[in-house]
Amino acid sequence: MKLIEQKKFETDMKNLIVSPAPHAHSGDSVRKNMLLVIACLLPALAVSLIAFGWGALITTAISIVACVATEWLIAKFVLKQRPTICDCSAVLTGLLLAFNLPSALPWWIVVIGAVVAIAVGKMTFGGLGQNPFNPALVGRVFLLISFPVQMTTWPRPLGFETSYVDAATGATPLATLKQIVKGGDTGLIDQLPDLWDSFTGMIGGSLGEVSAIALLIGGIVLIACRVITWHIPVSILGTVALFAACTAPAGMCCGEYVAYSLLAGGMMLGAFFMATDYVTSPMTGWAKIIFGIGIGLIVMVIRTWGAYPEGMSFAILIMNATVPLLNKIRPRRFGEVVKK
Amino acid sequence: MRTFKIGGVHPHDNKIYSAHQSITECPLPQKAIIPLVQHIGAPAQAIVEKGQKVKVGELIAKAGGFVSANVHSPVSGTVNKIDTTIDAWGMKMPAVFIDVEGDEWMEGIDRSADVIHECTLEPKEIVDKIAAAGIVGLGGACFPTQVKLLPPPGKTAEVLIVNGVECEPYLTCDHQLILEHGEEIVVGIQILMKALGINRAIIGIENNKPDAIARMKELTAKVLGVEVMPLRLKYPQGGEKQLIDACIGRQVPSGALPIEVGAVVDNVATIYAVYEAVQKNMPLISRVMTVTGKHVAKPGNYKVRFGTPLTEVVAMAGGVPEDTGKIIGGGPMMGRAMNNIDMPANKRVSGLLFLPEDECRRVEPENCIRCGKCVAACPMGLEPYLLSRQAELKMWDEMEQHNVMDCIECGCCLFTCPSHRPLLDYVRMGKATVGGIIRNRQAAAKAAAEAKK
Amino acid sequence: MELIVISLIVLGVTGLVSSVLLYFIAQKFKVEEDPRIDAVQEVLPGANCGGCGFAGCRSLAEACCKATSLDGLLCPVGGAPTMAKVGEILGMAASAAEPKVAVVRCNGTCEARPRTSEYDGAKSCRIMHNLYVGETACPFGCLGCGDCVAACQFGALSMDPKTGLPVVDEEKCTSCGKCVAACPRGIIELRNKGPKGRRMVVECVNKDKGAVARKACMNACIGCGKCQKECQFDAITVENNVAYIDYTKCRLCRKCEAACPTGAIHAINFPVRKPAAPAAEQPAAPAAPAEPKKEEVQQ
């Protein structure tokens, strides 16, 4: 290392940088967090590729490209901001949206969903960090209401043999479960897919939500990397398990019903990846637990008594609306006396 | 292993550069500038005149109030003038300028290396001696030490907590002091325990300094009531309130002093100064400073007399590295970035840190993504994202309601923010403003009460 | 048919009960308010800038209605015409107030003030001011982060990228005083606009001794007192090494401007081209010897 002589220092040295303390940073960034979440979603994408074939990959690619393009166009031409696509949040939104769609959805519906997710769900509020609702879910629910038929046409998982346009469709385990619970049709229990298939992802359903095991691994990695905390997933899954245990239909083993409730539908995807979205979830521990319990209750109420077989999207969106209120819950201050 | 309960972060400690470098004396300067504000509170009042001869250790300025401290001459020579000087932040401060001649010490100061164990003084005499020696907290706050030793009526001290944590990254001066002067520190602890009339002391040391823990355990093995407590590494463990929480599991309430939970906290460097003052009649005229940084030629721990220009201290360490972008007085978490280093060493500066230009620039802030990492990191249980926004919008009342005055400005929020938002900048500004509002309100209430009488 | 009748009855009864309830509740919780408050608020500008010293226009209106005279109550935005209207409503005489404008008392441009450090914190003058001296060696001058620009609700302030100093758009400035409060260094001051908007200003507040001030900034007032000697109307005082022109005494002769060795004194809104015109506009100004030098000064 070359050194400046003492005398020279006083006259020649370039201006020093001055800023308030601290002068160190953890090196964490929005981009890093987003990329980690994306990485943790990849195992689930791999499983859906196996289950649904290339259609899964095509839908995902369309969704991501449409989301990023929408964000770039709006930031550049409407809001006239510095485009924020480098933070990868639009990529994540696109990926999550695709995970919530059937793999054989026509491409133009995917594009509509992506545009609604980013344009309506995110950019109207001012971009990243300002949106009250999870953008991917806004897009998904918009599509679910606008295109109910296409959105509930689930291709059967057949592995790589299937082509993109897949005619073979079937009911999701949740739809079957609903008929059992609501209709009291216990004869349908035999038609439920094998529990192991539900665990690994060889069932009908949205593109990325089918493989509980892949999502679980991703979620645990996220918690281990401290990208998310345990509060929301644990409270959601705990509430759902407890609720299911109490309301198991006649003719079905309690444990079996709990297992189906946890594994089927968007439960794992929602609990680990959608509900824990930074922007639309509360900040402190207790608020996160309340948030999770709320989602768990609403989803089970919809599943048990509602019109839809699945309620994860609605539950998360409804609880998103309570986040400003939940953020009023203060963290415990240092030295605060606990009132008894 | 214990630590404090709420929040905290884990910055890289970067202590390898200067750790285990033995303490080196810095040569005397030709001209010494001794600032009269080396503590919090009112400036000291100079009692010397131009042309007067002074010796090392002679009192040159008297404490200017209750929370103020004496200033002694760290050099011998002639007073050149009493004027203002510009500090490293471009602000004026009063100072005594002395032309150094030789190194003549006051009588009665014991400069030998012998450790004197016995102390026969009464508690009152000990406190008086500490006050006379101008000792302030050398951990960074510079609070006059004797004030802490006189608990307000109705409050009693139960335990002395010795801060050997040094949680700031890069700094190693306290660590080295424990290794080299552990024996003196233990005597200093016993003196303070006597002064406070208590029989329990805890030495808190983080577990990244196992040799310091071992050394203190060895020295205190036979000393009654003194316990060494290894603490799990976490910043800001050296914060007064955090350390009390970590060591005795009590949390100081909002707005209160540590004495509220029966604790008195002193830094090891302060305790060493207490030992020197009480046993050797040595006033506080020098301190150990860490000069460090990735590209510093000779990083180390230097014993510097106050008044020595920092440029000379830097010269000892091999000069300013060419790629320096930022020079920080103190550690990277709470230290202040300096405008220049044409400033004399004083009681407040515990180290000089040279950060390379490519490492010290802040990243452009992005939108807050409400991840709540700042809330999780805040060791005081505050909501930095909210406070910083309120400060930006000048919502002072709301800031007060959200306990902004509890902020210890440790920097955990800004350190952890993935969006690189300048959270603490705004919170600190808000805290200063709210503090002013509260003081005005109290003054007005006081005036109203007096008017009623 | 039956269905329609039943629905009509149900709806009718519900409506009736609700309206009766509403009426009684409205009576019970009625807030007695001076009707003039609304009338006064109507004539106020409604910007809620707080320049009057009250929380907003409504608060000022309430204060006006409570007050026995309008002395000390002024809407700086609307100025005298608005206060006259308020006085009309309340039947009181409005006190006349001189129109004011914000002036920036710092001319330490980028060229005049060498940079001594680079600031890298949050872009706020107040934060920078609390931290240290600023990017230049002048501890009194403008910090250039634009707190005043952010505080102005009328878009009257903007940062000049060339000089790094804020510029006041006098057309838009309402002298609400928000910028004065926002500036941590107290550089901005509200002054009388002066005849035809013309005024003399010492654009410097540096209280350091001459040599120190000059070292930090070429354009600083060094407190030499030349302007004070030159002034025939005792309008200039030099205190703490900085000159100040009392605008109530200044007769706009512009002698001080020529006398200032550092160019810290600025003549604002004087015409450049026609040297003869200002003399005619200043009936009280006895002489106009400064005029020939005007071109120099303007540079």
Q: Output the pLDDT for position A40.
A: 95
The model's confidence at residue C274, banded by pLDDT at 50, 70 and 90, is: low
Q: B321 vs A30: CB contact, 8 Å cut-off? A: no
Residue listed under structure tokens 């940073």: A25
Distance from C-alpha of C274 to C-alpha of A212, rounded to nearest angstrom: 85
C124 neighbourhood in chain B, CB within 8 Å: 425-426, 429
Q: Output the pLDDT for position B237.
A: 93
3-class SS letters over chain B: CECCCCCCECCCCCHHHCCCCCCEECCCCCEEEEECCCCCCCCCEECCCCCCEECECCEEEECCCCCCCCEECCCCEEEEEEEEEECCCCCEEEEEEEEECCCCECCCCCCCCCCCCCCCCCHHHHHHHHHHCCCECCCCCCCEHHHHCCCCCCCCCCEEEEECCCCCCCCCHHHHHHHHHHHHHHHHHHHHHHHHCCCCEEEEEECCCHHHHHHHHHHHCCCCCEEEEEECCCECCCCHHHHHHHHHCCCCCCCCCHHHHCEEEEEHHHHHHHHHHHHHCCCCCEEEEEEEECCCCCCEEEEEECCCEHHHHHHHCCCCECCEEEEEECCCCCCEECCCCCCECCCCCCEEEEEEHHHHCCCCCCCCCCCCHHHHHCCCCCCHHHHHHHHHCCCHHHHHHCCHHHCCCCCHHHHHCCCCCCHHHHHHHHHHHHHHHHHHHHHHHHHHHHHHC
Is there a contact between A3 and B322 (Cβ–Cβ < 8 Å)? yes
Residues B100, B103, B108, B110, CA torsion sign: positive
Q: Output the pLDDT for position A170.
A: 59
Three-class SS state of C170: coil
Please determine, for residue A9, whether its predicted confidence score (pLDDT) is greater than 60: no
Q: Output the pLDDT for position B377.
A: 94
Q: A20 vs C131: CB contact, 8 Å cut-off? A: yes
What average pLDDT does the structure give for chain C?
A: 83
Q: Taking the domain B111-280, which CATH number applies?
A: 3.40.50.11540
Nearest-by-CA chain A residue for C114: A15
Is there a contact between B144 and B41 (Cβ–Cβ < 8 Å)? yes
Rounded mean pLDDT, A92-99? 95
Rounded mean pLDDT, B150-157? 88
Q: Quote the ipTM score.
A: 0.89
Residue C91 class from Cβ within 10 Å (0-12 exposed, 13-18 middle, 19+ buried)? exposed
Q: Output the pLDDT for position B339.
A: 87
* pLDDT tens figures, C114-165: 888 999 999 999 999 999 999 998 999 999 999 999 998 888 999 999 888 9
Q: B91 vs C137: CB contact, 8 Å cut-off? A: no
Distance of CA A156 to the CA centre of its chain: 23
Q: B311 vs A2: CB contact, 8 Å cut-off? A: no
Which of the pair, C240 or C79, is modelled with greater confidence?
Answer: C240
Distance from C-alpha of C178 to C-alpha of C108, rounded to nearest angstrom: 22
Distance from C-alpha of A14 to C-alpha of B251, rounded to nearest angstrom: 46
Question: For B168-189, b where at least 16 C-beta lie within 10 A, e where not — what string?
Answer: bbbbbbbbbbbbbbbebbbbbb
Distance of CA B225 to the CA centre of its chain: 26
C-alpha neighbours within 13 Å on the C-beta side of residue B229: 27
Please determine, for residue A159, whether its predicted confidence score (pLDDT) is greater than 70: no
Share of chain A above pLDDT 90, in %: 52
* pLDDT tens figures, B366-410: 999 999 999 999 999 999 999 999 999 999 999 999 999 999 999
Distance from C-alpha of B131 to C-alpha of C56, rounded to nearest angstrom: 53
Rounded mean pLDDT, B60-88? 90
Tell me whether B420 touches chain C (CB under 8 Å).
no
C-alpha neighbours within 13 Å on the C-beta side of residue A70: 29
Q: Output the pLDDT for position A228.
A: 93
Q: Output the pLDDT for position C97.
A: 65
Distance from C-alpha of A125 to C-alpha of B370, rounded to nearest angstrom: 14
Q: A20 vs B333: CB contact, 8 Å cut-off? A: no
Rounded mean pLDDT, C85-101? 78
Q: Which of A8-22, B381-395, C106-120 has the lowest mean pLDDT?
A: A8-22
* pLDDT tens figures, A136-157: 999 999 999 999 888 887 777 6
Please determine, for residue A233, whether its predicted confidence score (pLDDT) is greater than 60: yes
Nearest-by-CA chain C residue for B336: C131
Q: B429 vs C139: CB contact, 8 Å cut-off? A: no
Nearest to A20 among C116, C117, C121 (CB): C121
Please determine, for residue C296, whether its predicted confidence score (pLDDT) is greater than 70: no
C-alpha neighbours within 13 Å on the C-beta side of residue A190: 1
Which of the pair, C293 or B313, is modelled with greater confidence?
Answer: B313
Q: Output the pLDDT for position A162.
A: 42
* pLDDT tens figures, B274-300: 999 999 999 999 999 999 999 999 999
Q: B414 vs A1: CB contact, 8 Å cut-off? A: no
Q: Output the pLDDT for position A305.
A: 86
Is there a contact between B242 and B5 (Cβ–Cβ < 8 Å)? no
Residue A325 CB neighbours (<10 A): 11
Rounded mean pLDDT, B234-250? 93
Share of chain B above pLDDT 70, in %: 100
Helix (H) or strand (E) holding C160: strand C157-160
* pLDDT tens figures, B339-374: 888 889 988 888 999 999 888 899 999 999 999 999
| Contact partners, residue C24, CB within 8 Å, separation at least 6 | none
Distance from C-alpha of C81 to C-alpha of C99, rounded to nearest angstrom: 11
Q: Output the pLDDT for position A212.
A: 87
Structure tokens belonging to residue A234? 């644990």
Structure tokens belonging to residue C3? 């269905």
In this structure, the dihedral spanned by the alpha carbons of residues A207, A210, A213 and A217, taken in order and rounded to 10 degrees, is: 30
Nearest to A36 by CA among A278, A234, A248, A249: A278
The model's confidence at residue A2, banded by pLDDT at 50, 70 and 90, is: very low
Rounded mean pLDDT, C169-183? 87
CA distance, residue C129 to nearest chain A CA (Å): 11
CA distance, residue B342 to nearest chain C CA (Å): 13
| Contact partners, residue C7, CB within 8 Å, separation at least 6 | none
As a 3-state breakdown, chain C gives helix, strand, coil percent values, each rounded to 5, of 35, 15, 50
Q: Output the pLDDT for position B86.
A: 87
Share of chain B above pLDDT 90, in %: 76
Q: Output the pLDDT for position A155.
A: 75
Distance of CA A139 to the CA centre of its chain: 12
Q: B424 vs A21: CB contact, 8 Å cut-off? A: yes
Please determine, for residue A41, whether its predicted confidence score (pLDDT) is greater than 80: yes
> Computed over its alpha carbons, how large is the radius of gyration of chain C?
27
CA distance, residue B141 to nearest chain A CA (Å): 15
Distance from C-alpha of B148 to C-alpha of B264, rounded to nearest angstrom: 7
Q: Output the pLDDT for position A338.
A: 57
Please determine, for residue A7, whether its predicted confidence score (pLDDT) is greater than 70: no
| Contact partners, residue A45, CB within 8 Å, separation at least 6 | A56, A57, A60, A95, A99, A208
Q: Output the pLDDT for position C96.
A: 62
Is there a contact between B309 and B34 (Cβ–Cβ < 8 Å)? no
Q: B425 vs C126: CB contact, 8 Å cut-off? A: no
Q: Does domain C100-270 have CATH number 3.40.50.300?
A: no
B314 neighbourhood in chain A, CB within 8 Å: 6
Three-class SS state of C56: coil
Please determine, for residue C281, whether its predicted confidence score (pLDDT) is greater than 50: no
CA angle centred on C167, ends C248 and B89, rounded to 5°: 95
Please determine, for residue B212, whether its predicted confidence score (pLDDT) is greater than 50: yes
Q: B383 vs A283: CB contact, 8 Å cut-off? A: yes
Q: Output the pLDDT for position C273.
A: 52
Nearest to C285 by CA among C257, C243, C255, C260: C255
Residue B321 CB neighbours (<10 A): 22
User: What are the domain boundaries of chain A?
Assistant: 30-151, 173-219+229-326
Q: C139 vs B91: CB contact, 8 Å cut-off? A: yes
Which of the pair, C275 or B333, is modelled with greater confidence?
Answer: B333
Structure tokens belonging to residue A195? 């529990």
Q: B89 vs C116: CB contact, 8 Å cut-off? A: no
Share of chain C above pLDDT 90, in %: 32
* pLDDT tens figures, C206-239: 998 888 899 899 999 999 999 999 888 889 999 8
Distance from C-alpha of B339 to C-alpha of C117, rounded to nearest angstrom: 6
User: What are the domain boundaries of chain C?
Assistant: 37-90, 100-270
B92 neighbourhood in chain C, CB within 8 Å: 139
CA distance, residue A9 to nearest chain C CA (Å): 13
Please determine, for residue C79, whether its predicted confidence score (pLDDT) is greater than 80: no
Please determine, for residue C37, whether its predicted confidence score (pLDDT) is greater than 90: no
Q: Output the pLDDT for position C282.
A: 44
Q: Output the pLDDT for position A296.
A: 95
Please determine, for residue B39, whether its predicted confidence score (pLDDT) is greater than 90: no
Q: A6 vs B241: CB contact, 8 Å cut-off? A: no
The model's confidence at residue C292, banded by pLDDT at 50, 70 and 90, is: very low
Interface test with B, best of A35, A334, A338 (most B CBs within 10 A): A334
Residue listed under structure tokens 């759902």: A240
Please determine, for residue B135, whether its predicted confidence score (pLDDT) is greater than 60: yes
Interface test with B, best of C128, C129, C133 (most B CBs within 10 A): C133
Helix (H) or strand (E) holding C266: strand C265-268
Please determine, for residue B220, whether its predicted confidence score (pLDDT) is greater than 90: yes
Share of chain A above pLDDT 70, in %: 89
The model's confidence at residue B201, banded by pLDDT at 50, 70 and 90, is: very high
The model's confidence at residue C95, banded by pLDDT at 50, 70 and 90, is: low
C 89-148: CB under 8 A from B: 116-117, 120-122, 124, 126-127, 130-134, 137, 139
Which of the pair, C282 or C211, is modelled with greater confidence?
Answer: C211
* pLDDT tens figures, B407-422: 999 999 999 999 999 9
User: What are the domain boundaries of chain B?
Assistant: 111-280, 373-452
CA distance, residue B402 to nearest chain A CA (Å): 9
Q: Output the pLDDT for position C145.
A: 92
Nearest to B367 among A5, A128, A284 (CB): A128
Is there a contact between C176 and C221 (Cβ–Cβ < 8 Å)? no
Q: A334 vs B322: CB contact, 8 Å cut-off? A: no
Nearest-by-CA chain B residue for C126: B429
Nearest to B432 among C120, C130, C134 (CB): C130
Tell me whether A19 touches chain C (CB under 8 Å).
yes
Task: Tell me the helices (H) and strands (E) count for chain C, helix number first.
Answer: 12, 9
Structure tokens belonging to residue B297? 């030629």
* pLDDT tens figures, B180-197: 999 999 999 999 999 999
Please determine, for residue A171, whether its predicted confidence score (pLDDT) is greater than 70: no
Tell me whether C25 touches chain B (CB under 8 Å).
no
The model's confidence at residue C286, banded by pLDDT at 50, 70 and 90, is: very low
Please determine, for residue A24, whether its predicted confidence score (pLDDT) is greater than 60: yes
3-class SS letters over chain A: CCECCHHHHHHHCCCEEECCCCCCCCCCCHHHHHHHHHHHHHHHHHHHHHHHCHHHHHHHHHHHHHHHHHHHHHHHHHCCCCCCHHHCHHHHHHHHHHHCCCCCCCHHHHHHHHHHHHHHCCHHHCCCCCCCCCHHHHHHHHHHHHCHHHHCCCECCCHHHCCCCCCCECCCHHHHHHHHHHHCCHHHHHHCCCHHHHHHCCCCCCCCCCCHHHHHHHHHHHHHCCCCCCHHHHHHHHHHHHHHHHCCCCCCCHHHHHHHHHHCCCHHHHHHHHCCCCCCCCCCHHHHHHHHHHHHHHHHHHHHHCCCCCCHHHHHHHHHHCHHHHCCCCCCCCCCCCCC
